[in-house]
Chains A and B, each alone.
Chain A
Amino acid sequence: MIGDPRSLVTAQIELRDVGKRYETVSGPVLAVEQVSLKVRRQEFLTLLGPSGCGKSTLLGMIGGLVAPDAGQVLIDGEPSTGPNPRKVAMVFQDPGLFPWRTALDNVGFGLELQGVGGARRREVALGLLEPMGLRGFERKYPRELSGGMRQRVAIARALALDTPILLMDEPFGALDEQTRLLMGEWLVGIRRRTQKTIVFVTHSLQEAIALSDRIAVMTSRPGRIKDLFEVPLPYPRDLNSPEVTDLRAKLWDQIREESLRAMEGAP
């Protein structure tokens, strides 16, 4: 994949004019409208926007969990028709670990669905859990793990599928500030090692700037892409450097308006 120079420039994910409306008690709501976006191979793209702006809906469409009412989702140039565990893995804000499975068996879940044997699953899961600082916790049940550990197990479970694409829906949203920063650093490391294409959803400016190659700012209801920012800075990023400060100010300008609108529109 890396040997082919074209693979670096072609889009791995393409959204063509996708839209989605939900029926609610108070009438239909346009969650996403006319979004077109290309995500490059091995790119880290962040969808940034206020709560309820359709980021998660968009991510769900890429993951095949949400069927768009309009437009098309292409993965490697082919239209997506549903979850595709050979190409796309997802991580959610709620880790969603199976409480009756140990950390090890949670990580092996996806492979189990694909019919991979027990010995191989163990090997993969141990290989993923160890570098995540979870050595010694393989046999623990989710309730015995801290919030950060649970989310790491959930990420390991997604990585175990060994897909080229990883979708992350506010994966650190429920964690405290310090854990969140550390998890971000750790994700940068994972990304460097695995060379995955990552689409990341967050409402945190800081997180978006620290992690992304590109940031797509979204408008709220209906969700559209308002602007795209390149972040051509090397890792680890100094979050107090003048470039970052400058970018943060620009992003804040964009997002402030949307957040205000979202606040006023909120029930």
Chain B
Amino acid sequence: MKVLALRAAVLLGLLGVWEVVAAPLNPILYVAPSAIPGALLRVFRVGELPPLPEHVWLTLREIAAAYALAVSAGLWLGFVLGLQKTLGRIYEPILAALYAIPSVVWYPSLMLFFGLGPASKIAFGLLLGFFPVALSVLAGIRQVDRHLITVAVSMGAGPGAIFLKVALPAMSATLVGGLRAGLALSVVGVLVGEILGSRAGIGYLINYAYGLFMTAEYAGLVVLVGAAVLALDGAAGLLEARVRRWAS
């Protein structure tokens, strides 16, 4: 209770300080927090800015496509490399090395292949979301306790039952963590793609507001998107906690 009060106090204090400091400064560079709600209303009401719902809808569809592809590809490659030990030992280090490269280096190439439209955003979201999913499958498979498999075999479990009733639940906590991280990164990928260059989507709107020095509208959109991203990740976190309630 006390902690919650302190948290709220810290947030309000920071906003207050900001408000006071920003008041005498150039509002094009420094937006006061109090200006944001009004700006957000302007964003919703069709004004100088292009209509919000259309752009949000496009971004959501890009994210959905990118994530669906990232999960399919990540699960597939993860299981192939995890279950074929030899393949895993050869290709997992290569996968890990690729993951160590800052992802944004791939974006210009994707833009060259797919142009400025949604395809390059989906491709980048797919690329970013893919790694945590694939790596979590590999880590999850390694975590399966061999003894539990022995127990299941002694009770007559065949390969199918071992996979469904032992391996999959045993790795579920790690896997769900990877799926959550993959979702967060797919969202980031699509947003980065849109902000670096696009003709539509929420990132385009952000860039548009920024380009016209509509800083309050820009800040309003950032707060909106940031809150949505945190809410999405929070929901994924609740799901993760539910899946792993048997652990710790």
Contact = CB atoms under 8 A, between A and B. Distances in A.
Of B147, B156, B161, B165, most buried by chain A (CB within 10 Å of CB) is B156
Interface in A98-113: 98-101, 109-110, 112-113
Given A92-B147, A99-B246, A113 B155 contact: yes
B154 A65 contact: yes
Contacts of A10: none
Interface in B139-175: 145, 147-148, 150-157, 161, 165-166, 169-170, 172
A161 interface: yes
B100 interface: no
A65 B150 contact: yes
A53 interface: no
Contacts of A141: 245-246
Interface class of chain B by DSSP: helix
A112 B161 CA distance: 10
Nearest to A112: B165
Contacts of B165: 109, 112-113
Interface string B42-85: 00000000000000000000000000000000000000000000
Contacts of B150: 65, 92, 96
Interface stretch (A34-42, A70-78, A83-91, A205-213): A83-91
Interface residues of B, number: 21
A157 B152 CA distance: 11
A94 B147 contact: yes
B247 interface: yes
A63 interface: yes
A37 to B, nearest CB: 20
A169 B165 CA distance: 24
B246 to A, nearest CB: 4
Contacts of B247: 99-100, 143
B86 interface: no
Given A92-B147, A143-B248, A98 B155 contact: no
A114 interface: yes
A114 B165 CA distance: 13
B172 A100 contact: yes
A65 B170 CA distance: 21
Of A63, A83, A85, A89, most buried by chain B (CB within 10 Å of CB) is A83
B155 A85 contact: yes
Nearest to A93: B147
Contacts of A143: 246-248
Interface of B: 145, 147-148, 150-157, 161, 165-166, 169-170, 172, 245-248
Given A84-B156, A113-B157, 10 more contacts: A83-B153, A92-B150, A98-B148, A98-B169, A100-B169, A100-B247, A110-B156, A141-B245, A143-B247, A161-B155
14 contacts: A63-B154, A65-B153, A85-B155, A92-B151, A96-B145, A96-B147, A98-B148, A98-B166, A100-B172, A100-B247, A110-B155, A113-B152, A113-B155, A143-B247
Interface of A: 63-65, 83-85, 89-90, 92, 94, 96, 98-101, 109-110, 112-114, 141-143, 157, 161
Q: Which 3 A-B pairs have the closest CB atoms?
A: A85-B156, A96-B151, A110-B155
